[in-house]
C-alpha cells in the first residue's frame, strides 16, 4: 500500500511539474497547458539524428534537393517565417534551423523538433501552390515544432506504455537519464507513427496562420490551400490530411481567424 501511495504521489507531482505551455500567448490565442515529461534536449537530439538519417537516405536515392529553384523558393519562404518565431518563443530564434526538399509525389511536409524542415516536391507541384499557400503549410509545420507537439505526444505515449513503473523510476535521480534515453529510443517511431491530436492540429493552424501573416504572407491563402488539398482526395485522403480536422471545419476556423491577423499581414507588407 505504501508503494502504491508513493507511486500515486510521484505521478501527481510529475503531472504538475511536467505541465506547461511552450509558447507565448498571442493573437492566435493558444495557451493550453501541455504534458511534457521527456526532456526537450533528448527529443531534439533524437529528432536531429532521425532527420540526418533521412537526408542520407535521400542522398543515396538521389531525391534530396534535386530542383535548385524549388529549394531556393522553399528556403526563402521558410526563412521569412523563421524570422518571426521569436514572437512565440524567444529560444526558437537560436535553433539550428535547416530546410530541405525531398523529391516525393506525396502531399506532405514536416518540421522535426528543433527546427528541421522537410517539404515534399509533390506539395509544391501537385496543387500548384503559391508562395502564400506554401507559407501556410510550412508555418503550420513550424507551429508544431514551436508547440513541441512531437515531444508532447511522445511523453503521453511513453507513460501509456510504461505506466506507473516509469513514473516510479523517477523517484531516484540516477534513473532519470535512463528513462530519458529509453524515451528517446522510442522517439523516431513515435514521432512519425503517432498522429497529432485534433487540438494540436488546431493550434498549429492558428499559430501557423499568425506566423505567416507576420512574415508578410496573406492569411487568406490558408483557405485556398486546404481547398486545394481537399480536392486531391480521390479516395484515401492525402497523408498530410489523414489525421487533420474535417476540412470544412478547418476552413471555417481559418476564415474566422484571418481578419484578426490581417493587420499583421498589412503591416508586414508595408515594411
pLDDT at res. 232:
81
pLDDT at res. 177:
46
Contact 249, 223 (CB under 8 A): no
In this predicted structure, which of 156-160, 205-209, 262-266 has the lowest mean pLDDT?
Answer: 156-160
Q: Is 173 exposed, middle or buried (0-12, 13-18, 19+ CB in 10 A)?
A: exposed
Q: 3-state DSSP call for residue 119?
A: strand
Contact 21, 33 (CB under 8 A): yes
Phi, psi (deg, nearest 5) at residue 34: -120, 150
The pTM is what?
0.82
Q: How many CB atoms lie within 10 A of CB 271?
A: 5
Q: 3-state DSSP call for residue 255?
A: helix
* CA trace torsion 85, 86, 92, 96 (10° rounding): 70
**Average predicted confidence (pLDDT) for the chain:** 82
Strands 116-120 and 98-102: parallel
219-250 pLDDT per residue, tens: 999 999 988 988 886 655 554 555 555 667 88
Q: How confident is the model at residue 42 (pLDDT cuts 50, 70, 90)?
A: confident
pLDDT at res. 179:
47
186-211 pLDDT per residue, tens: 545 555 555 567 789 999 999 999 99
Contact 213, 230 (CB under 8 A): no
Q: All 3 cell numbers of residue 139? A: 508555418
Q: Is the pLDDT of residue 67 over 50?
A: yes
Q: What is the C-alpha to C-alpha distance for residues 153 and 118, in angstroms, rounded to an integer?
A: 20
Q: How many CB atoms lie within 10 A of CB 172?
A: 9
Which residues pair with residue 99 across a beta bridge? 117
Q: What is the C-alpha to C-alpha distance for residues 2 and 94, in angstroms, rounded to an integer?
A: 46
Contact 144, 200 (CB under 8 A): yes
Contact 165, 178 (CB under 8 A): no
Q: All 3 cell numbers of residue 34? A: 501541455
Closest-CA residue to 160 (of 5, 41, 35, 43): 35
Contact 107, 126 (CB under 8 A): yes
Contact 219, 258 (CB under 8 A): yes
Contact 146, 205 (CB under 8 A): no
Q: All 3 cell numbers of residue 164? A: 506507473
Amino acid at each position: 500500500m505504501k508503494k502504491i501511495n508513493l507511486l500515486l504521489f510521484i505521478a501527481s507531482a510529475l503531472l504538475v511539474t511536467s505541465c506547461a505551455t511552450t509558447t507565448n500567448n498571442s493573437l492566435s490565442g493558444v495557451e493550453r497547458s501541455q504534458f511534457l515529461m521527456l526532456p526537450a534536449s533528448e527529443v531534439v537530439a533524437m529528432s536531429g539524428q532521425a532527420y540526418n538519417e533521412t537526408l542520407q537516405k535521400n542522398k543515396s536515392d538521389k531525391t534530396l534537393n534535386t530542383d535548385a529553384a524549388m529549394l531556393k523558393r522553399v528556403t526563402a519562404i521558410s526563412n521569412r517565417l523563421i524570422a518571426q518565431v521569436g514572437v512565440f518563443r524567444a529560444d526558437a530564434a537560436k535553433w539550428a534551423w535547416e530546410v530541405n526538399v525531398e523529391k516525393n509525389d506525396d502531399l506532405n511536409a514536416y518540421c522535426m523538433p528543433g527546427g528541421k524542415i522537410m517539404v515534399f516536391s509533390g506539395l509544391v507541384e501537385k496543387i500548384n501552390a503559391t508562395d502564400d499557400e506554401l507559407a501556410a503549410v510550412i508555418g503550420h509545420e513550424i507551429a508544431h515544432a514551436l508547440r513541441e507537439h512531437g515531444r508532447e505526444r511522445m511523453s503521453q505515449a511513453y507513460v501509456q506504455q510504461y505506466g506507473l513503473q516509469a513514473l516510479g523510476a523517477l523517484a531516484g535521480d540516477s534513473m532519470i537519464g535512463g528513462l530519458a534515453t529509453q524515451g528517446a529510443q522510442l522517439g523516431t517511431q513515435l514521432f512519425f507513427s503517432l498522429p497529432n491530436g485534433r487540438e494540436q492540429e488546431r493550434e498549429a493552424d492558428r499559430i501557423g496562420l499568425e506566423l505567416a501573416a507576420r512574415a508578410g504572407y496573406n492569411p487568406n491563402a490558408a483557405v485556398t490551400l486546404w481547398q486545394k488539398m481537399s480536392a486531391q482526395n480521390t479516395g484515401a485522403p492525402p497523408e498530410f490530411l489523414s489525421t487533420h480536422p474535417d476540412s470544412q471545419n478547418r476552413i471555417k476556423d481559418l476564415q474566422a481567424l484571418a481578419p484578426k491577423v490581417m493587420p499583421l499581414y498589412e503591416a508586414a507588407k508595408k515594411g
